[in-house]
Structure 1
Amino acid sequence: MVSKRLFVNGRFTTLDPSCPFAEAVYVEDGRIRMVGGYEEVILQAGRADVERVDVGGGYGYPGLVDSHLHLVAYGMTLSMLDFSRVTTKAELLKMVRDQARMTPHGEWVRGLHWDENRLQEQEPPTREELDRAAPHHPVMLTRHCFHVQAANTEAFRRAGISRETPDPSDGAFGRDERGELDGLVYENASRRLYEAMPPSSRAQKKEWLRKAAREALSKGLTGVHTEDLRELGSVSDAWHMYGELTEEGIYLRSHHLIYHPFLEEAADFGLQTGTGDPWRKTGAMKMFADGSIGGRTALLSSPYTDAPSARGMPIHSQQELNEWVRRAREKGFSVGVHAIGDGAAEMVVRAFQSHPIPPGGRQRKCDRLIHGQVLRSDLVQALKHLPVVVDIQPRFVVSDFPWVAERLGSERLAYAYAWKTLLMSGVDCAGGSDAPIEPLDPILGLHAAITRRPPEDPAGGYLPEQNLTPLEALRLFTIGSAVAAGEENERGTCSPGKAADFTVFDRDLLAANADALLEARVSMTVVNGCIAYRG
């Protein structure tokens, strides 16, 4: 592996105030040693033992890092039915029926990204409809938010779920007016359906990861913050599997959130927040405080505007949440909590305040409030005074509007998806996709943060006062992701001494025309000074 490279003929935006723009970057042993003008850098680094890499006039930026996704799950979903563009139940059911015809009897039919708000009928598929579409197969279809499933009778039979099955404390089974199962399964009630499926082999899981990692690099991502333990099932297997990627020459950095049931296993394996190697780092313990707005399981402090009897569903009591945070601190972990509604965010803030991050340790640590879609002003003020990063997903605006306005109402909408407010208030934010819920492509995330509208919609965007500037959007996926990982001294800017991770595009991502972003193509993804992807 070449240890010295000089990247020339580029237009680099470094995000480092001491040298905001550069024409050349000199890399040695995976570290940036010098950035600046071509003549300046070539004078210092133009030696015979240095490999020159022509960037071809491309536009370089600090390596883009997705601060919240599920990489293995993303790879897994690449082989499932995708209902994201389906607009009628008839079309959805035809896809299920066609897939069932091609699938041996008795094997599962899986699909994802259905959303009743995008269907003409404005209602989800029912158990009976799925029975008719696939009478000889168990069927489970995952809603776009991944917090609600639609299943048929055979799937329920395999899972041992019947009319008499009680709801678990952290989920629910949908029922009709007669008390019969209607096919919908909310939150962790789906656990039994997953347990009824045949286990995937390690080789299959590895292939999901391999495909997803290559896809990430091709989109310009130099690293990901990922939570995979629900798919991989073992801390040690996850750790070794990612290590094998590097050995195969797939150079993608990974920062791993530890799903809370695996906390003890992770600690016994010798992990805590900040441990790892240059390619794999341990992140926060991850847990859920609520569900999704689309499924009306996100916990709000007052009822949903379009469903006055519903406020959402807490996954844990305040006491349970506090106790998990305490246990994480005891094991040396920071904590990241999925909290979409303001009721859930309030619980998370209380838990963080009850058990703050202890001082000291090998690395600066911060907690994460993941999603934070509905945040009252008092919660924003509380977050300012905590070592917390808010993990935001700009694409959620594109997916959730306009129907979310009916769920939340005009008063609550004023402090929903308020990314600009968070930044202006001094709250650290990082940008992610939550793939496979949203597309993996960071360009789509940047476009959504800047325009707050779908690519095909020329209108002014939803709540345009919350639009971010191109520079603010870029910082979410660079400096913001580095801060979330406690690694702002290691990455996030193209600065001497930092890791040589950067992404080169064929056009300027900071240009005034945001829609031109959608035409941007990755020319080169550089990780640790190595060309991990070339377009």
Structure 2
Amino acid sequence: MNPKEPVVQSIYTENERIVDMGTNEGIQLQWGRGGAKIIDLEGRAVVPGLIDSHLHISSVGINSQELDLTNVKTTDELLDSIEQWAVNMKPGEWILGRGWDENVFPNRRIPSIEELDKVSLNTPLFLPRICGHAFLVNSTALKICGYHPNMNIPYGGTIVLDPITKKPNGLLLETASTIISKHIPEKSYEQLKSALQAGLKQATSLGLTSIHTNDPNYLGGARQTYRLFDELINHDGVGPRSNLLIDYDYLEEMKNAEMSTGYGNDSLRIGAIKLFADGALGGRTAHLSEPYQDDPNNVGNAMYDKEVLFQLIRNIRLQDMPVAIHTIGDQALIDVLDILDQFKPTKYRDRLIHVSILSEHLIHRLKSPHRIVDLQPKFVSSDYPWIEDRLGKQRAGFAYPFKSLLDKGVISAGSSDAPIESLNPLLGIHAAVTRRKAGETHAGYNVQEKLSMYEAFHLYTVGGAYATNEENLKGTLERGKLGDMTVLSHDPFRMEDPDELLLTDTEMTVIGGEIRFQR
């Protein structure tokens, strides 16, 4: 990804940095003496260390220890999975997990609270949807939280009621989940550390050398989150370099701890302050400028009044920090950009996360040296074709317009939003290039928005470096930059068929010239 030297045979690193690069013969002649360690990759391909610009790595680890519903394909299968898990529950424990997606069910039916009660065996249940914006709960969980019809629900949240009985049907949307989640027993420090370690190791095994991750809500606040990452990364040498997105709720905690964007070292830094402007398309809570095609009276949810959102961003700017804002619907993005335009940028770029539904005008507004968009290419293969039911064909034509963004000069980075999508960056790259699911053979959805292999890898290397203002430190392989490299079993730039990416393994993950993973 270095235009001056796009392909080389050998790279020499020392003290975490790339010192030299060139031909095998030239590098060995210059640096091969004095006990230098030589690693022969036997023809495998090396790319700059892959970067995931938005995920929740602790949740990836926690999910590995809870009920995984990502592969459930029917309503009955979902209920069976809950029932089998409930059998092993001890008194006081909760059934926790995530990943269900009714859009892949043949009938798209979400189970009723009566069905959930029957299979959960009086054990409290809390199961976020794959998007993390809708939640299944049972009667036991509602009883624990003291639910009653006149209960005060946080702004932007909804307890969905049965249209006949006017009682909860087991589905909560957005911030309504907090009435339940605050009653779930907290994990111990060691349990959290174990889960985080599992997530970090998984990231390294998939070739990720850097991640930008949002975790304080899972790990007990901003300072404890930093401490856990510091112990694992800086002291134990576990996992990729990490840039920590901090939720707005911990802004005051950051100020009191005198921690701000850029705090840390090359392996671990504090990043931007995370906010949510709206919800998700799956649960029809993404904030749209026009109603949903399949729900004409609904435009989704704004998480805050515009005046409140202005004040939140102002508070962030008073600490001279950038924002990282979840915006999926076009109206949410309009509201956010209207507010950001009123503030002077910081030295770090503001981040617009997802920007799923756009227009030509909005793409133009995103072009700025002070803004970057965090894209999730895998959303394309997960959301089509049902997204056309939500939006209609015309609007769906402007869903995930990656090529248009790049062609218009919008600074863009690639990510997974794991655990919502697979942590494997090659699956995201495959989705960006093909715009279809693995195993499908059609031309792809909105083929005009396909990326070339080079453009897709650019998102996960150069783009990821720009997201944290580290473009002079990582993202390309060139002299003076960090020796972060991902070694692949096949050369993506020589593939005749991009589906070969699905058969490609990470052979080795190199961070600062040190092998952190080897298959």
Q: TM-score, normalised by structure 2?
A: 0.97
Are residues 1:66 and 2:49 paired?
A: no
Are residues 1:231 and 2:218 paired?
A: yes
The aligned counterpart of 1:474 is 457
Give, in angstroms, the shift of residue 512 of structure 1: 3.0
Residues 482, 491 of structure 1: 8 Å contact kept = yes
Are residues 1:435 and 2:422 paired?
A: no
Q: Equivalent of 1:451, from 410, 422, 434?
A: 434
The aligned counterpart of 1:40 is 26
Give, in angstroms, the shift of residue 386 of structure 1: 5.7
- Name segments (4+ residues, structure 1) moved above 6 Å: none
Closer, same or farther: CA 328–123 of 1 in aligned 2, 3 Å: same
Distance in 2 (CA, whole Å) between partners of 1:134 and 1:238 is 32
1:103 partner letter = M
2:204 partner letter = L
Are residues 1:339 and 2:327 paired?
A: yes
1:354-433, aligned counterparts within 5 Å? 354-358=342-346, 364-385=347-368, 387-433=370-416
Does the residue aligned with 1:489 lie in a helix, a strand or coil? Answer: coil
Distance in 2 (CA, whole Å) between partners of 1:317 and 1:479 is 35
Deviation track 1:282-341 (CA, whole Å, cap 9, x = no partner) reads 111110000000100000001001100000000011111111211111112111100000
The aligned counterpart of 2:74 is 88
The aligned counterpart of 1:243 is 230
Give, in angstroms, the shift of residue 211 of structure 1: 0.5
The aligned counterpart of 1:259 is 247
Distance in 1 (CA, whole Å) between partners of 2:369 and 2:306 is 18
Are residues 1:327 and 2:315 paired?
A: yes
Distance in 2 (CA, whole Å) between partners of 1:440 and 1:160 is 37
Distance in 2 (CA, whole Å) between partners of 1:531 and 1:160 is 52
Are residues 1:202 and 2:189 paired?
A: yes
1:143 partner letter = R
1:430 partner letter = A
1:194 partner letter = S
Give, in angstroms, the shift of residue 104 of structure 1: 2.0
1:146-165, aligned counterparts within 5 Å? 146-165=132-151
Deviation track 1:243-291 (CA, whole Å, cap 9, x = no partner) reads 1113222142000111011111112222222221121111111100000
Moved more, 464-473 or 157-166: 157-166
The aligned counterpart of 1:190 is 177
Residues 65, 195 of structure 2: 8 Å contact kept = no
Does the residue aligned with 1:125 lie in a helix, a strand or coil? Answer: coil
Give, in angstroms, the shift of residue 394 of structure 1: 0.5
Distance in 2 (CA, whole Å) between partners of 1:86 and 1:207 is 26
| Percent of residue pairs identical | 38
Give, in angstroms, the shift of residue 531 of structure 1: 0.3
Residues 322, 355 of structure 1: 8 Å contact kept = no
The aligned counterpart of 2:110 is 124
Give, in angstroms, the shift of residue 111 of structure 1: 2.7
Does the residue aligned with 1:532 lie in a helix, a strand or coil? Answer: strand
Gaps of at least 5 residues in structure 2 are: none
The aligned counterpart of 1:315 is 303
Deviation track 1:406-436 (CA, whole Å, cap 9, x = no partner) reads 1011221121111111111110110000001
Give, in angstroms, the shift of residue 513 of structure 1: 1.2
Q: TM-score, normalised by structure 1?
A: 0.94
Moved more, 23-32 or 258-267: 258-267
1:338 partner letter = H
Closer, same or farther: CA 385–521 of 1 in aligned 2, 3 Å: closer
Gaps of at least 5 residues in structure 1 are: 1-14, 359-363
The aligned counterpart of 1:516 is 500
Number of residue pairs matched by the alignment: 516
Distance in 2 (CA, whole Å) between partners of 1:254 and 1:499 is 14
1:392 partner letter = L
Residues 369, 411 of structure 2: 8 Å contact kept = no
The aligned counterpart of 1:505 is 488
1:342 partner letter = D
Distance in 2 (CA, whole Å) between partners of 1:355 and 1:126 is 46
Are residues 1:134 and 2:120 paired?
A: yes
2:434 partner letter = T
Does the residue aligned with 1:44 lie in a helix, a strand or coil? Answer: helix
Does the residue aligned with 1:168 lie in a helix, a strand or coil? Answer: coil
Deviation track 1:354-391 (CA, whole Å, cap 9, x = no partner) reads 11314xxxxx4111100000012111111114611110
The aligned counterpart of 2:201 is 214
1:24 partner letter = S
